[in-house]
Structure 1
Amino acid sequence: MLSSWAKENNNLDAIILGAGACGLMCAVQAGYLGKKVLLLERNAKPGAKILISGGGRCNYTNLFASHQNFISENEHFSKSAFAQWTVQDTISFFEMFGIYGQEKTLGQLFPTTNNAKDIVKVFTDLCLDLDQQIICNVEVQQVRSNGSGFELKVKDLSNDKIHTLLAPKVVVATGGLPIPKMGATDFALRLARQFNLKLTQTAPALVPLTVTGKDHEWYEQLSGTSIFSRVSNDKISFEENILFTHWGLSGPAILQISSYWRPGEKIEIDLLPGNQIIELIEQERQSTGKKLLASFLEKFYSRKFVDALQKYLPIDKNLASLSKAELQNIEDLIHRFTVKPAGDKGYDKAEVMRGGIDTNELSSKTLECKKVAGLYFGGECVDVTGWLGGYNFQWAWASGYVIAQNI
């Protein structure tokens, strides 16, 4: 397959590296415009990360996605792409092929079939219909500019043979560093350095946070406990569930704040957002001051969590006998529970990568590299990192669409 392409690919408009969300959308949209592309994928099948997203259900966009839901050193960079390909465009695109969305929480759209395979099938079927070839099990080892375009050295992983491919334009949609066991590599970052492009600092994002030291055992005993909370730092706050784990903290609110967290910083957790614990205690006192603090707290939390609070609170005292100092301690713990994470779980557990190709190196309107004509970067490898909940897919679809219009 690859050997025949090496001899007959002179009529290509572009080669797309990576058959993930961005690359697949780019290929399909290019096909609609009558452009011929070749997708090269290192994995055995296209759409590997799509297939595992959302627990295999694929949260493919978010109703509220805008540039404000993304982290980047240039917060305005993604505006152009999102103007060219909107959330409604995503919804309409998939509806054309029988994929209808159902909102779960906070604008998150999942296919009504709850099956990520249906999302991938839309693209693979379209690529077949549009005669856009996807070749899997290949590794791009070199990309060089040759004056009139690009020369690629590509290894066929089925037989280790090296082939040379030529293309006037190259689209880099190889993703970021998370989940290396699924084939994630630093290819896009290495290629950017090769062409002297600036990178912003990269780090795991949407990732669980770890707690070590003297507090580790306390978190470990609560493993599996989930609490609706408001998690904050000095930049932003999120209201969703947190999840205690044997290594520290996870859950949607923690994953969200992790993208804004930096080593050495603390995060603050309100364990009862929208309420005032002292007011609730005073109300309870008026009806029955004899109730134990433990029994009162069980109205809001599991018995397991209340028992664990014994380390910090006098849960065996009745409400009427709580001193002002004890009440203040209760308020501080419930509404200002402070954690200083030791670190994060790294790229193995991260959903996305923060940082990447510096947006100053790219045209916001076309995503073409300013320094290297015909070279485009899209998707996760660019310094545009979305929140949890379908935002990163919306960036992938939008950036793939934008590139397709310009290759």
Structure 2
Amino acid sequence: MTANLTKQTDFDAIIIGGGACGLMCAVQAGFLGKRTLVIEKNEKVGAKILISGGGRCNYTNLYTSAQQFISTNEHFSKSTLSQWTVEDTISFFETYGITGKEKTLGQLFPESDNARDVVKVFTSLCLDLGQEIWTGAEVKEIEQAEGGFVVSVERDGRTESLVAPKVVIASGGLPIPKMGATDFGLRMARHFGLRISETAPALVPLTITGKDQPWYEQLSGNSIFCRVWNDRISFEENILFTHWGLSGPAILQISSYWRPGEYIYIDLLPNHNIGELIKQEREANGKKMLLAYLANLFTRKFAEALSDKLPVDKNLASLSKTEIESIGQLIHEFKVKPAGDKGYDKAEVMRGGVATDELSSKTLEVKKIPGMYYGGECVDVTGWLGGYNFQWAWASGFVIAQNL
């Protein structure tokens, strides 16, 4: 492998990462007459865009505000999100032929249900605007130099060193390494002496091990609408039992707020009171067995699984007050202590990242390194499930482009 001489380029900025943030940054810079080079390690840009929402891409959320983001500084995202709003995202995509349709809880998907259409907007615009994209190229290092930054790039079996006045690190987080995710953004942050807020998998399934695992295994595939909570937050969405524990939207949401060793609580029948329901039912049909009654509320399989925890072989009329209270406790405050999570292989995003106090909240420029910017998942701003992380990516890409 041979190294080329350092080459001064005419790019206004080199953008590392061809994901949502990097692509938006390149396009918005192009609108302003700036020329950028996007360097993407994968053979194609937009890998996570293409798999999001089951390949349909929930590209924003109508309810986006700073409240749906986890960060050491809860106010940090406000400036970026106000500079590029949900309305801006909707208008941008509509301009280029993508009309959104709302699904659950404010999630917006393309009418076509095809994530490829979202990526095509960016690749077409980059072509039209003269923005260059290198795929199958890996940035090895970045150094400060006269004239800006030297970016060493390996591609086609050789290393090139490019000089540009500004550099944007939008290389994503650690989730889904098989899709090319690396620690590059964090590694560069450490190299330049930037503080990193503790990182961990987020929006990730939770695992159950030991003596409780067989109970969850028997319910694998069962999905129930629940309220899941801990002492920080609660979510009302479906949970999914799996052979290794719990998944589904509500579990993915709470996982971002869960820490190892803690309990989570599940209300299996939110918005109802099981004790009152049983009392009403037994007035009409006291001979009905508790098992049959629970099978009407849930699935038969789930009702049977509760047989080792509840007196399911008794009829409703014979249930004592204490038994009804115990049923209520179990149904409305089902207590779970996860053993862990499924890790970065199954996580949708990374929690933590480059510490927000290292960056300008208005421009996302590194305070002590003028000309270097961080955006997207690299930063300690983590959104909820349902399009929020895309809105942060588009917004941070836009904000950086305005300041290149």
Q: Which of the five TM-score ranges fits, normalised by the shorter chain? A: over 0.9
Paired residue for 2:186?
189
Paired residue for 2:275?
278
Paired residue for 2:247?
250
Alignment of 1:226 with 2:240, yes or no, is no
Alignment of structure 1 residues 211-360 onto 2, 5 Å: 211-360=208-357
**Distance in 2, Cα, partners of 1:101 & 1:4:** 46
Contact 2:4 2:159 in 1 (8 A): no
Deviation per CA, 1:332-364, whole angstroms, max 9, x where unpaired?
110000000000000000000000000000000
Name the SS of the counterpart of 1:15 in structure 2: strand
**Distance in 2, Cα, partners of 1:132 & 1:300:** 57
Contact 2:228 2:265 in 1 (8 A): yes
Deviates more, 1:146-155 or 1:243-252: 146-155
Q: Which amino acid aligns with 2:230?
A: N
TM-score, normalised relative to structure 1: 0.97
Q: Which amino acid aligns with 1:11?
A: D
Percent identical residues: 69
Paired residue for 1:139?
138
Name the SS of the counterpart of 2:265 in structure 1: strand
Q: Which amino acid aligns with 2:132?
A: Q
**Distance in 2, Cα, partners of 1:10 & 1:356:** 30
Q: Which amino acid aligns with 2:66?
A: H
| Structure 1 residue 288 displacement after superposition | 1.1
**Distance in 2, Cα, partners of 1:311 & 1:125:** 59
Structure 2 unaligned regions, length at least 5: none
1:137/1:165 CA distance change after superposition, 3 Å: same
Q: Which runs of 4+ in 1 moved over 4 A?
A: 3-7
Q: Which amino acid aligns with 1:18?
A: G
Paired residue for 2:147?
148
**Distance in 2, Cα, partners of 1:98 & 1:130:** 18
Name the SS of the counterpart of 2:297 in structure 1: coil
Name the SS of the counterpart of 2:236 in structure 1: strand
Deviation per CA, 1:140-183, whole angstroms, max 9, x where unpaired?
00100013300011101xx3211111110000000000000000
| Structure 1 residue 4 displacement after superposition | 11
Paired residue for 1:27?
26
Paired residue for 1:378?
375
Q: Which amino acid aligns with 2:337?
A: K
Paired residue for 2:77?
78
**Distance in 2, Cα, partners of 1:300 & 1:81:** 45
**Distance in 2, Cα, partners of 1:179 & 1:189:** 16
Name the SS of the counterpart of 2:57 in structure 1: coil
**Distance in 2, Cα, partners of 1:285 & 1:80:** 56
Contact 2:238 2:249 in 1 (8 A): yes
Structure 1 unaligned regions, length at least 5: none
Name the SS of the counterpart of 1:164 in structure 2: strand
| Structure 1 residue 110 displacement after superposition | 0.4
Name the SS of the counterpart of 1:268 in structure 2: strand
Deviation per CA, 1:168-211, whole angstroms, max 9, x where unpaired?
00000000000000000000000000110000000000000000
Name the SS of the counterpart of 2:11 in structure 1: coil
Paired residue for 2:196?
199
| Structure 1 residue 403 displacement after superposition | 0.1
**Distance in 2, Cα, partners of 1:52 & 1:406:** 30
**Distance in 2, Cα, partners of 1:171 & 1:63:** 28
Paired residue for 2:400?
403
1:147/1:4 CA distance change after superposition, 3 Å: closer
Deviation per CA, 1:70-111, whole angstroms, max 9, x where unpaired?
000000000000110000000000000110111111000000
**Distance in 1, Cα, partners of 2:357 & 2:333:** 39
Deviation per CA, 1:28-81, whole angstroms, max 9, x where unpaired?
000000000000000000001100001000000000001010000000000000
Alignment of 1:160 with 2:194, yes or no, is no
Paired residue for 2:170?
173
Alignment of 1:61 with 2:60, yes or no, is yes
**Distance in 1, Cα, partners of 2:366 & 2:20:** 20
Name the SS of the counterpart of 1:35 in structure 2: coil
State how many pairs are aligned.
402
